[in-house]
């Protein structure tokens, strides 16, 4: 399974050919696809901000219906707390929302697919893929 970050899903919604090819690779290999509640929140925020709100909200709903949603757990919350503090001590913070996304991916032992590769590579143990 691979966890799709906001940047990748946005690229898909915008019909980016490179993102579509990457998605085809995963589908052809039978890889299960997931995302996080944080990514869903970010996608809906953007959709409701759009001038074409109804159509964009529908696209987001349709996309999310195809993905497994990773569950929050006490373990992922604890991992987040440790991660944020470790990154701050190291002088390499990534922001709370991305730290939550990274914590969820780590807790579920999933790589993350993102355009923010350099950003997420600051997270120890997280496998980061791009397209």
Q: Which helix (H) or strand (E) holds 15?
A: none
Looking at the structure of the chain, the number of domains it has is 1
Q: Give the domain range for residue 85.
A: 2-129
Give the Cα separation of 89 and 34 in Å (integer).
30
Q: What is the pLDDT of residues 1-14, one digit of tens each?
A: 999 999 999 999 99
Q: What is the pLDDT of residues 17-68, one digit of tens each?
A: 999 999 999 999 999 999 999 999 999 999 999 999 999 999 999 999 999 9
Structure tokens at 61: 């709903």
Q: What is the pLDDT of residues 69-107, one digit of tens each?
A: 999 999 999 999 999 999 999 999 999 999 999 999 999
What pLDDT sits at residue 10? 97
* H helices present in the chain, as ranges: 6-13, 17-29, 37-49, 53-65, 74-90, 96-107, 117-120
Domain CATH code at residue 50: 3.40.50.1010
What pLDDT sits at residue 19? 97
User: Would you say 8 and 115 are in contact if contact means Cβ atoms under 8 Å apart?
Assistant: yes
Report the SS3 class of residue 4.
strand
Q: What per-residue string of b and e applies to 41-74 under the rule 16 or more CB within 10 Å gives b? A: ebbeeebeeeeeeeebbebbeebbeebeebebee
Whether the model clears a pTM of 0.95, i.e. scores above it, the answer is no
What pLDDT sits at residue 127? 97
Q: Which helix (H) or strand (E) holds 92?
A: none
Q: What per-residue string of b and e applies to 10-30 under the rule 16 or more CB within 10 Å gives b? A: bbebeebeebeebbeebeeee
Report the SS3 class of residue 35.
strand
Structure tokens at 104: 């969820």
């Amino acid at each position: 399974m691979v966890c799709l970050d906001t940047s990748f899903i946005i690229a898909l919604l915008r019909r980016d050919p490179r993102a579509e090819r990457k998605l085809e690779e995963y589908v052809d290999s039978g890889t299960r696809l997931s995302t996080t509640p944080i990514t869903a929140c970010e996608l809906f925020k953007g959709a409701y901000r759009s001038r074409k709100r109804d159509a964009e909200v529908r696209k987001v709903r349709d996309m999310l219906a195809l993905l497994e949603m990773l569950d929050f757990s006490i373990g992922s919350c604890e991992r987040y707390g440790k991660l944020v503090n470790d990154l701050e001590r190291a002088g390499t913070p990534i922001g709370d929302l991305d730290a939550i996304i990274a914590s969820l991916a780590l807790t579920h032992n999933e790589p993350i697919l993102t355009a923010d590769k350099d950003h997420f590579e600051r997270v120890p143990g997280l496998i980061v893929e791009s397209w």
